[in-house]
Structure 1
């Protein structure tokens, strides 16, 4: 390989991460609350306190923490994510679900029909959710501009290849497109451990139609 070829190869390596891949983020167990549940746990009209912004525009972690409990086990200090949702939802990993003794389906956010319930506890106040516990389906938030660049569409199922010491290909990854998003892939801690997650890791989108 001559010097020019080496230079071109180096340039390609530098720009490829931004052009052909998306950043991957790992998410731990968390809760989304609706207004009636906030009122029941914290008092009527209570406003959750923003602690820090998250990578998705308008999304934030709250200062408040609560306990989630099943008949078998419980987790304390579970973070609440804002803003308020139309329905309360608890997102856990498959490992968490086993610890709680619950059979929790893999679902997209908001798809809670037929899911198991759980008890939410804040001090002496508690709420029994009849449904709402899910293992979040791995997904990519993507802007409309990036969706066109990657040639993917809302609801499309793709694979994502991640390099590294524990390289693997995630299958069954759903594309979620919105002008309000920042482009990034979301996985849970079980998936993060499987891939040897480190902050800043990136994944290459593979369209199934191109395999």
Structure 2
């Protein structure tokens, strides 16, 4: 048998296996998981500012959500402490510019982004974006994306959930982990998938394509989101976990150049504490 015939047979076998795999339905209450690495969304004005007048984002590869793509274009993200090169821009262009990082990335950059739903960037962290045509300082726009699930209306009906509802998702594996307070987002254009960041994926040895079991969540012990009136001023230059006692579910106002210990950052995440910086001068 010649080499060409062998290659053809192998291709046919793989094609059949792929079709079979695609045809297998998910088990009841199973959600496919996608790991979302650091990335940037740009408004068209900023695309042209960073890549040149008339520039458009170009497709490197399509993503799981319909019409969304990883662009060929990348940027450098710069913070007070460091920078990260080759951060992928996702397309198409959006109505606002947003940088999504993991907590590990945030530590490298020296920024303190809140955990937020995509699009909610008010009073979030700052950074500078550097592209081939110039740089752009963002006063706000850096967030750690809240874990969420994309669903179509049919999926939502099948799972007996609604848009904006919070659920828990349990993922089995060598290090089982349950994600609480996962927001359900429903739209006709969505394809069923839960999105977590790289830190969350690494914590549970999770890879894109595994599935988790959707569970209903008891929200009675979840603190309410901080409002503009729930603020506490802390005037320390170095903030420790002891300074955060009594701040659960509220927003702290700290000096512009305040720094947080590692334990303080863990406390902020666990107690869902918001951060606002007081700019002076």
Q: Same fold (TM over 0.5)?
A: yes
Is 1:46 the counterpart of 2:55? The answer is yes
Give the one of 126, 136, 140 matched to 2:145: 136
Cα distance in 2, alignment partners of residues 95 and 60 from structure 1: 24
| Deviation for aligned residue 1:123 | 3.1
Whole-Å separation in 2 of the counterparts to 1:109 and 1:178 = 15
| Separation in 2, partners of 1:131, 1:66 | 17
Alignment of 1:184 onto 2:189: no
CA distance in 1, matches of 2:25, 2:58: 39
Alignment of 1:32 onto 2:49: no
**CA-CA distance at 1:166 after TM superposition:** 0.5
Structure number with higher relative contact order (C-alpha < 8 Å, ≥ 6 residues apart):
1
The answer for unaligned runs of 5 or more in structure 2 is 1-23, 220-281
Secondary structure at the counterpart of residue 170 of structure 2: strand
Q: What SS is found at the alignment partner of 1:117?
A: strand
TM-aligned CA deviation for residue 200 of structure 1: 2.0
1:10 matched residue in structure 2: none
TM-fit CA distance, 1:130: 1.0
Backbone CA RMSD of aligned residues:
1.5
- Point out where structure 1 has 5 or more consecutive residues left out of the alignment: 1-14
How far, CA to CA, are the matches of 1:102 and 1:153 in structure 2? 34
| SS of corresponding position for 2:205 | coil
When Rg is computed on C-alpha atoms for both structures, the one with the higher figure is: 2
TM-score, with length taken from structure 2: 0.68
The 1:117–1:209 alpha-carbon spacing in structure 2 relative to 1, beyond 3 Å, is closer
- For the pair 1:99 / 2:94, whether they are aligned, the reply is no
**SS of equivalent residue, structure 1 residue 154:** coil
CA distance in 1, matches of 2:117, 2:208: 24
Q: Secondary structure at the match of 1:96?
A: helix
Conserved? CA contact 2:29–2:214, under 8 Å? yes
Aligned equivalents of 1:21, 1:123: Cα separation in 2: 43
8 Å CA contact 2:125–2:139 kept in 1: the answer is yes
1:45 to partner: Cα distance: 1.5
1:149 maps to what in 2? Answer: 158
Give the paired residue count. Answer: 196
State the TM-score, normalized to the length of structure 1: 0.89
Q: Distance in 2 between matches of 1:32 and 1:117?
A: 15
Matched, 1:122 2:156: no
1:71 maps to which of 68, 80, 94: 80
User: In the alignment, is the contact (CA less than 8 A) between 2:148 and 2:196 conserved in 1?
Assistant: yes
How far apart, in 1, do the equivalents of 2:101 and 2:124 lie? 12
